[in-house]
Structures are given as structure tokens and as C-alpha cells.
Amino acid sequence: MTKADIVDTIFEKVGLSKKEAQDIVEILFDTMRQTFVEGESLKISGFGTFNVRKKLARRGRNPKTGQDLEITPRRVITFRVSNQLKQEIEKLDA
């Protein structure tokens, strides 16, 4: 699913104009982006939690050349699915 698909779904289900639906999606993603930049977590009830984690520097190896190198510290976003959504997904496998 793409951002355009989300806009189309909002357009069809809510009845807003495509421009309004697109504005809402852009505001939502901008808000999420800013939350992550600030290093805060984002919890969406019934969906899951996005966390910003700090990864420390570590030793690594280039798989192509085998050369050792140091991987610099960085921040990454992780996602943990809610139990409610996990159960819904598991029902589809049963």
C-alpha cells in the first residue's frame, strides 16, 4: 500500500475531497516524522508502538571484501505490533 492508496481510501470511506484527504495524510506523516526526530515513541492503540532506539558503535565486516570496519552509532526506529493486531493477523493463518 502506498501513500496514494491511503489517500484514496480516506477519499472513498470518509467522503472528503482528494485534496483534503491528501492534506490529512501529509499532516499525519509530518507529525510522525517530527516525533521520531525528537526521539520520542509513538503509540497507536490497537496497532502498535514505534520506538526510536540508539544503537551503539560496533565492529562489523564488509561481506564482500571481509575487511573489518567500525559501524558508527545511530538511531533506528523499531516497531512492536499490539497484541490486538497480532491476534487479528493470527486469525487469518488459522
Q: What is the pLDDT of residue 72?
A: 95
Residues 41-94, CATH architecture: Irregular (4.10)
Span 20-24, average pLDDT: 95
The model's pTM is: 0.78
pLDDT-derived band at 94, boundaries 50, 70, 90: low
Nearest Cα neighbor of 36 from 19, 18, 58, 54 is 54
Domain positions in the chain are 1-38, 41-94
Alpha-carbon dihedral of residues 88, 82, 27, 7, nearest 10 degrees? -10
Q: Which fold has domain 1-38?
A: HU Protein; Chain A (4.10.520)
Residue 83: pLDDT over 90: yes
The answer to whether residues 87 and 93 touch, using CB atoms and an 8 Å cutoff, is no
- Report helix, strand or coil for 26: helix
Residue 1 has pLDDT above 70, yes or no: yes
